[in-house]
Each structure stands twice: as structure tokens, then as C-alpha cells.
Amino acid sequence: MAFHRTPEAYYRFPERTMTDRFDCHYCKESLQGKKYVQKDDQHCCIKCFEKFIANTCSECKKPIGCDSKELHHGGKYWHENCFRCYHCSRSLANDSFSLKNDRITCNKCLPRTDSSTCHSCKRPIKPGTKSFEYGGSHWHERCFTCCRCLKEIGTASFVPKGDDIYCVSCNEKKFSKHCVHCRKAITSGGLTYRDEPWHTECFVCKTCRKQLSGQRFTAHENYIYCADCYGNFIAKKCGTCHKPVTGFGGAEVVTYEDRQWHSDCFKCKKCYSSLVNKRFVNHNRDVYCTDCAKSL
């Protein structure tokens, strides 16, 4: 450890003529009759000394002025008043010390630094004290808490997010998607329908409650139905064969007013010719081609 005063400041009145210049090396202002600092055969004003030359205190991060006592050790510098024990704040300007993890420690407090430091409060964890360890960091039992609800986690499950730790409940509330049906968090699996998340177990037929993941289904009035229930209870019946018209599998459907037909069933009642994309006549809820309609 070295303890010294920074380069001395002088008042100087050189024996020069009125035409001689005696200026600051940096700002070029005259030093005639002013206090200045001489270092490495160069002269500078007090302001420029603190701006360009003075060392910065490792504790307060301010320049160490020419009127201050300066302490240095291991390439670091301190004001005399800033050179204190990190733990007890006792001045160490005239006392022995240790430097560990960039922190100055008096010999009395040194044993405390041999213990682990709490990741949260930054204080030592005393030997024998209950603590938690995760990812190379340590916490006091009281400091190992959820960063959202601040409850102690203890031995319960938790989820790390960067430098933060969340209990399972808070992690689900903050980060998990929530099922559009039951509103509960989706912690694993799940599926998306119409850009909305669902639990697999919630994505079921409105009528029979069968799970629809990987099955044929359709939606009707904001409800989803399996193919069987939609055909049996929702779909309109074909005007010819009276079977459900579902449109599953890309089957074409013909619609007229409030009635529907399978495209293969949309035929003239009399001659059985297909009426798809052709003109037809509706008579007594039956359809006829224009030729057969003339004999009705």
C-alpha cells in the first residue's frame, strides 16, 4: 500500500518579460499568478489536472484532486476518506487490510468473506445457516423468494428466468398461454385453433365430449363438433337422399334457399340428369330440368 499526496500545486510568478507566455498545457489559459500543477515537465491549471491527469477514486468514482491525499494499491486509487472496509466501514488509511473480489476488508471482517455471498442481498451467508444454491449462486433462506409474489420458495418447485426466479404459479400467470376454454395456464402440450390456445383435453366435441385432436371436426356457432355429431345433430339433410350434408373431405354442396343437396344428388326428379351449374325448376320441393318442367 502506498499513501501519498497528489502532485503538488504551486503559485509561481516567473521572472519573465511582459511578452513571455506561461500557459496551461491543455487549455492554453495563462498561469501567471495562478495555482498550477507541474507533472512530467508540463504545467496545467487545477481544472485541467482533475479533468485530464488526476486518478479516479475506485470507490466514489470522482477525480482525486491535487489537494487530496491519495492511496493506491494494485493499480487502483482511492481518496483517503474512501478507503474503508466494505463490511464495517472502518477507515483503513493507516491500518492493515486485504483486497478480495475488488472489495477492501479489514482483518477483523476478513473471516466473513470466506463464506458464500447471498445472490439477492449481497451479504455473507454464515456457516451453518440454512441456504439454497442454484446455478452456482447462493441465497439466504429468507432471500430465496419469487421475484413476483415475494413468497419464500423453500423446497417447492421454481422456474428461473435470467437472473429472476419465479414460483410455478407466478411463472404460469406471467409467461404461460392460457386455454381459451378453461382459462387455465397451458404448461405443456396443447394445440392452437383459429390462433387461440387450447388444452388438448379441453378441445372436445360439444355433444359427445370426445377429444378432437387429430380427428375430423367442424365449428358451428362458436362450438366445435366431431364429424358424427355434426352430421347427426347440426348438418342439414340432403333434399334427395336425406343424409347429412357436411362437406367433409371436400365434397361439393349445392344450396338453394334453405335447402341443401350433395352435388351427386342434385338431379332432375324425372330424368335424373345432373342439375349442377344448370338452370332448374323447383316444384313441390322437388327439382326438375327445364325440359322435364314443361310437362308438369
* Pair 255, 272 in one domain: yes
Residue 4: its pLDDT value, please? Answer: 47
Task: Return the number of other C-beta atoms located less than 10 Å from residue 21's C-beta.
Answer: 9
* Each residue's pLDDT tens digit, 187-245: 778 899 988 999 999 999 999 999 998 888 988 888 999 988 988 888 888 988 888 88
Stated length of the chain: 296
Residue 183 exposed, middle or buried by CB count within 10 Å (0-12, 13-18, 19+): exposed
Is residue 115 situated within a structural domain?
Answer: no
Domain extent for 170: 131-174
Residue 110: its pLDDT value, please? Answer: 67
* Pair 197, 229 in one domain: yes
* DSSP secondary structure of 245-290: ---GGG--EEEETTEEEEGGG-B-TTT--B-TTS-EEEETTEEEEH
Is residue 277 situated within a structural domain?
Answer: yes
Q: Chain-centre distance of CA 100, in angstroms?
A: 33
* Pair 7, 78 in one domain: yes
- What the block records as the C-alpha cell of 255 is 344450396
How many domains does one find in the chain?
Answer: 4
Report the CATH number at residue 211.
2.10.110.10
**Segments of the chain scoring below 70 in pLDDT:** 1-20, 100-101, 110-115, 127-128, 249-250
* Those residues with Cβ within 8 angstroms of residue 200's Cβ, 6 or more apart along the chain or in another chain: 189, 190, 191, 211, 213
* Each residue's pLDDT tens digit, 24-45: 988 988 888 888 888 778 888 8
Q: Chain-centre distance of CA 276, in angstroms?
A: 57
Place of cell 385432436: 213
Residue 51: its pLDDT value, please? Answer: 86
* Pair 158, 194 in one domain: no
Q: Which of 213, 233, 253 is the last residue of a domain?
A: 233
